[in-house]
Amino acid sequence: MRPRAVQIAGGLLCALALAACDGGQGGLTSAGPTSPAVGPVRLWPDLAPATNPPVDYGESDTQRVPGVEVADNDVRSVDAVAVVRAEVRANPDTYSGGDGMYEETARAIEACTTAPAACPVMRPYYRDLTGNGRDELIVGIRMPEQQVGVRVYLAENGGLTRIMSTVDQVISVELAGRDLIMRVASAGIPGYEYRTAWSWDEQQHSMLPTRDEIVRVRPSRTGPSAVPVPRLVSPSPTVPVPGGSDPPTPVEPGPVPADPVPVPAEPAR
């Protein structure tokens, strides 16, 4: 039989097989009408684009930590308290921006060595957020009015570069892949919260808030908590003890509550 005849015979066999299945149990059935695809429609196409650059919120600001050396670019070799203290000493009387710090918080950080129980610097976490194959240092700082400062440091060229710094009334801080996700209580919409995903941006060489959303929160069976408790979810099976030689402490999967260390409230100005 010639090739053309073989093709025709094969086609007839396939058609007969489909006809036999059609209408039978487990045969092909229609899924109904399909909605037409609708593409994005630009509103006010004659509207002239903005010519002035947007307001700089400082998301892409980075800062080299002065006086901190990192052996082999390993962030686990540095003390988180010493890192934050170096920034405080390099930026005295700075109360806003990435280096902003409450006076009481700055004093408590300086006294972390003599009064560790009242130290506002929480235990550090480590995660490769930049994709360079090495961990970055993630630090949380308790501040007055239930605020938490979150800072991320990148080890490079034998030192530390701060690639993220933000302060807010945090409900929780979580790690998902290479994203750092902050959940913040909504100020004006009861029953909702803000969730911001901070991601590494190679061009800006910093962490940027790449996704920001308002999410409805399901009420808890036990009722809402009067005071949000900041926590950081660790993806690692162990958490090293900073500044010590003891073996790492195993951590069960799930949220890890922060140590309840009181921080004095800021006096009214």
> 164-177, pLDDT tens digit by residue?
999 999 999 999 99
* CB distance 196 to 209 below 8 Å: yes
**Helix count and strand count (H, E) for the chain:** 3, 13
Buried b (16+ CB within 10 A) or exposed e, 208-228: beeeeeeeeeeeeeeeeeeeb
Adjacent-strand bridge partners of 126: 137
Reduced to 3 states (helix: H, G, I; strand: E, B; else coil), residue 249 is strand
Q: What are phi and psi of 125, to 5 degrees?
A: -125, 160
Q: Which of 123, 101, 103, 110 is nearest to 82 (CA)?
A: 110
CA nearest neighbour of 232 among 150, 136, 159: 150
Question: Tell me, what's the pLDDT at 224?
Answer: 45
Which residues of the chain fall below pLDDT 50?
Answer: 1, 6, 16, 18, 20-21, 223-269
Tell me how far apart the terminal alpha carbons of the chain are, to the nearest angstrom.
Answer: 98
CB neighbours of residue 254 within 10 Å: 8
Report phi then psi at 20, rounded to 5. Answer: -70, -35
* pLDDT value at residue 246: 41
Share in percent of the chain as helix, strand, coil (round to 5): 15, 30, 55
Q: What is the share, in percent, of the chain residues with pLDDT greater than 70?
A: 66
pTM for the predicted model, two decimal places:
0.66
Q: What is the pLDDT of residue 218?
A: 78
Structure tokens at 68: 């901190």
Burial (CB count within 10 angstroms: exposed 0-12, middle 13-18, buried 19+), residue 57: exposed
User: Per-residue b/e over 123-144, b at no fewer than 16 CB within 10 Å?
Assistant: bbbbbebbeeebbbbbbbbbbe
* pLDDT tens readout for residues 62-101: 889 999 999 999 999 999 999 999 999 988 776 666 677 8
